[in-house]
Chains A and B, each alone.
Chain A
Amino acid sequence: MKYIIKKLLTLILTLFFISVLVFLIFQVIPGDPALSILGTEATDEQVEALREQLGLNDPMPKRYFNWLTGVLTGDLGKSYRYQESLNEQMAVSRLIAGKLPVTLTLAGLSLLLIIIFSIPIGILWGGTKSRALDGVLNVLSQFTMSVPSFFLGIIIIYVFGLIMRWFTPGGYVSYREDFWGYIRYMLFPAITVAVPKVAMTAKFLRNSIITQLKSDYVRTAYSKGARRFRVLFVHVLKNAMIPVVTFIGIIAAEIAAGSIVVEQVFGLPGIGRLLVSSISTRDYPVVQALMLYIVSAVVIVYFVVDILYRYIDPRVEEQ
């Protein structure tokens, strides 16, 4: 419990520094938000009035504080570009809330696929004595790791979408309309994200198992009379999984941050695509909010991994 509180305080402190950094970066970027909103034809008086209204003339600490209060209460400002109606800009929080479920579903499904496939493959790979199987898996993993995801996405669209007709390419269905249709469509981008990560994770687990199998406690287990199957599953697996949990954590953080390429290839309205379009249109409030989300997601996932770690590795306690 003390450990969790300590980690939680570290997390909060980290998030605070991140917020300062994200805020400062967007102070330094040239360009006047008031001018961006009003356009080049606005008069100086109009710009000055809006600057006053937006609080841009306040001193920096006050502006940071106002911004942070906004973030914590869910007010991330208004998009420069997206409009709710003719004369009202869309709130960034609403904009992201519409896109985030797609990215999170993609991340969740991919992570599920990674765990379901990489762990059995890794165990089989690490536990096998067959050099032929080891060789086959080695070639297969090298291959899947090296195929770029946009290309894998195109292949999957071609094979499963155009030939097998298991889904309609580009025919994204919103989860509000048809939940199972949505999951069914999301499965294919999730496979695209998962395939190279499955290969990496399986290889990582395999190496971890092989290292563990060489250790002395395995020899002790054999001398007690344990057989290979028992040694692998009862003795080695838990020790071998410890570094793999961290590895999966890193992957989870990566995919929670959104897969820009895969969202683009499959035409998913997720935050990856929003990020690309916001950067190209200089929609800074959106970029700022997305940056805050991505960095926070990574930090929070690492926090969860740290907590999980403690439950599977008894040695963490005394360190």
Chain B
Amino acid sequence: MVKILEVKNLNVYYKAKSKSIFARPERKQVLFDVSFDVNEGEIFGIVGESGCGKSTLSKTILGMNPLYDGSIVHNSVKPQMIFQDPYSSLNPAWTIGRILSEPLLLSGMKDKAEVKAAVYDMLGRVGLDESYYGRYPSQLSGGQRQRVSIATALIARPKLVIADEPLSALDVTIQAQIMELLMELKKDLGLTYIFISHDIDVVYQLCDRIMVMKDGRVVEIGETIELFENPENAYTRQLIDA
């Protein structure tokens, strides 16, 4: 199996607010010795209570958090991310077209016609027609916005996508549609997902392997079925039973 992401002995810190402007800023450790691999083509679930370090981990993998030691190796294009809240994660002053064009422009694509064609193509893939190009996020429903978020993440053609609770802000009926869309895109574009959630049922349905986290540490990693039937750790059992 080809590994698309290898994380070894990762420790992540945050700058703690120092008490005075003269004091040296202190560091607060939030992730402790995290190691795991993600195989190409799988759906790798990360579960844990809120505050356990799931989101910090995904931000660090994306390079948005500079304070860490250990190694993160991804063997593909820069991974992208789908965020939880589709209402606030899109720039309200930008049209959908501009939001979707940005990753392409940042990756160095210059030809305007080419960018536009790619944006239309991506809109089609997430089930939105071309009329959405000139609209603003405020004119869209939650489900449509999450489709835009997914399109934004996928437009630069990453191989690895981190989805941070992509369903939890949506209605149940729309959750099913978005889940279906994510599976379809995975097949069409050959994607690998890291799926972050606190919802154990969603993770059970979707993921091939699961990593359980607690207080910034890895509790257990295993195949989904094995983990559910035979949890080694007391915390994992507690999480499944809840």
Are B88 and A215 within 8 A (Cβ)?
Answer: yes
CB distance from A102 to the nearest CB of B (A): 39
Q: Which residues of A contact B106 (CB under 8 A)?
A: 224-226
Are B138 and A224 within 8 A (Cβ)?
Answer: no
| Interface assignment of A41: CB less than 8 Å from any CB of chain B | no
| Interface assignment of B215: CB less than 8 Å from any CB of chain A | no
- Closest chain A residue to B80, Cβ basis: A223
Rounded to whole angstroms, the CA-CA distance of A224 and B91 in the bound complex is: 13
A31-39, A156-164, A298-306, A311-319: which lies at the interface: A311-319
Per DSSP, chain A at the interface is: helix
Are B89 and A216 within 8 A (Cβ)?
Answer: yes
CB distance from A73 to the nearest CB of B (A): 45
Chain B 126-139, CB-CB to A under 8 Å as 1, else 0, gives 00000000001011
Q: Which residues of A contact B173 (CB under 8 A)?
A: none
Q: A214-250: which have CB < 8 Å to B?
A: 215-217, 219-226, 235, 238-239
Rounded to whole angstroms, the CA-CA distance of A194 and B81 in the bound complex is: 45
Q: Which residues of B contact A217 (CB under 8 A)?
A: 88-92
CB distance from A157 to the nearest CB of B (A): 37
Q: A23-54: which have CB < 8 Å to B?
A: none
- Closest chain B residue to A319, Cβ basis: B138
CB distance from A316 to the nearest CB of B (A): 10
- Closest chain A residue to B95, Cβ basis: A314
CB distance from A101 to the nearest CB of B (A): 38
Rounded to whole angstroms, the CA-CA distance of A313 and B149 in the bound complex is: 21
> Which among B64, B93, B103, B152 is the interface contact of A314 at CB below 8 angstroms?
B93
Residue with the greatest number of chain B CB neighbours at <10 A, chosen from A131, A135, A217: A217
> Which among B91, B107, B152 is the interface contact of A235 at CB below 8 angstroms?
B91
Chain B 64-75, CB-CB to A under 8 Å as 1, else 0, gives 100000000000
Rounded to whole angstroms, the CA-CA distance of A183 and B80 in the bound complex is: 56
Are A219 and B103 within 8 A (Cβ)?
Answer: no
CB distance from A129 to the nearest CB of B (A): 11
Rounded to whole angstroms, the CA-CA distance of A223 and B83 in the bound complex is: 10
- Closest chain A residue to B21, Cβ basis: A131
| Interface assignment of A132: CB less than 8 Å from any CB of chain B | yes
| Interface assignment of B62: CB less than 8 Å from any CB of chain A | yes
Q: Which residues of B contact A135 (CB under 8 A)?
A: 21
- Closest chain A residue to B91, Cβ basis: A217
Assuming the contacts A135-B21, A318-B139, asked whether A223 and B64 have C-beta atoms less than 8 A apart, the reply is: yes
Assuming the contacts A135-B21, A220-B152, A318-B139, asked whether A313 and B89 have C-beta atoms less than 8 A apart, the reply is: no
Rounded to whole angstroms, the CA-CA distance of A132 and B181 in the bound complex is: 49
| Interface assignment of B3: CB less than 8 Å from any CB of chain A | no
Are B89 and A222 within 8 A (Cβ)?
Answer: no
Q: Which residues of A contact B152 (CB under 8 A)?
A: 220, 224
Assuming the contacts A239-B92, A315-B138, asked whether A219 and B83 have C-beta atoms less than 8 A apart, the reply is: yes
Assuming the contacts A224-B152, A314-B93, A318-B138, asked whether A216 and B85 have C-beta atoms less than 8 A apart, the reply is: yes
Q: Which residues of A contact B107 (CB under 8 A)?
A: 225
> Which among A132, A221, A225 is the interface contact of B91 at CB below 8 angstroms?
A221
Chain B 197-212, CB-CB to A under 8 Å as 1, else 0, gives 0000000000000000
> Which among A224, A226, A239 is the interface contact of B93 at CB below 8 angstroms?
A239
- Closest chain A residue to B79, Cβ basis: A223
Q: B159-174: which have CB < 8 Å to A?
A: none
Are A219 and B92 within 8 A (Cβ)?
Answer: no
| Interface assignment of B37: CB less than 8 Å from any CB of chain A | no
Chain B residues engaging chain A, CB cutoff 8 angstroms? 21, 62, 64, 78, 80-81, 83, 85, 88-94, 102-103, 106-107, 136, 138-139, 149, 152, 156
Can you show 30 pairs from A to B with CB atoms below 8 A apart? A131-B21, A132-B21, A215-B88, A216-B85, A216-B88, A216-B89, A217-B88, A217-B91, A219-B83, A220-B89, A220-B90, A220-B152, A223-B62, A223-B64, A223-B83, A224-B80, A224-B103, A224-B106, A225-B78, A225-B103, A235-B91, A235-B94, A239-B91, A239-B93, A312-B93, A313-B93, A314-B93, A315-B136, A315-B138, A318-B139
A224-B103, A226-B106 given; 7 more Cβ-contact pairs under 8 Å:
A217-B91, A223-B62, A224-B102, A224-B106, A224-B156, A235-B94, A315-B136
Which 8 A-B pairs have CB atoms at the shortest separation, nearest pair first? A216-B88, A216-B89, A217-B91, A223-B81, A314-B136, A238-B93, A220-B89, A224-B103
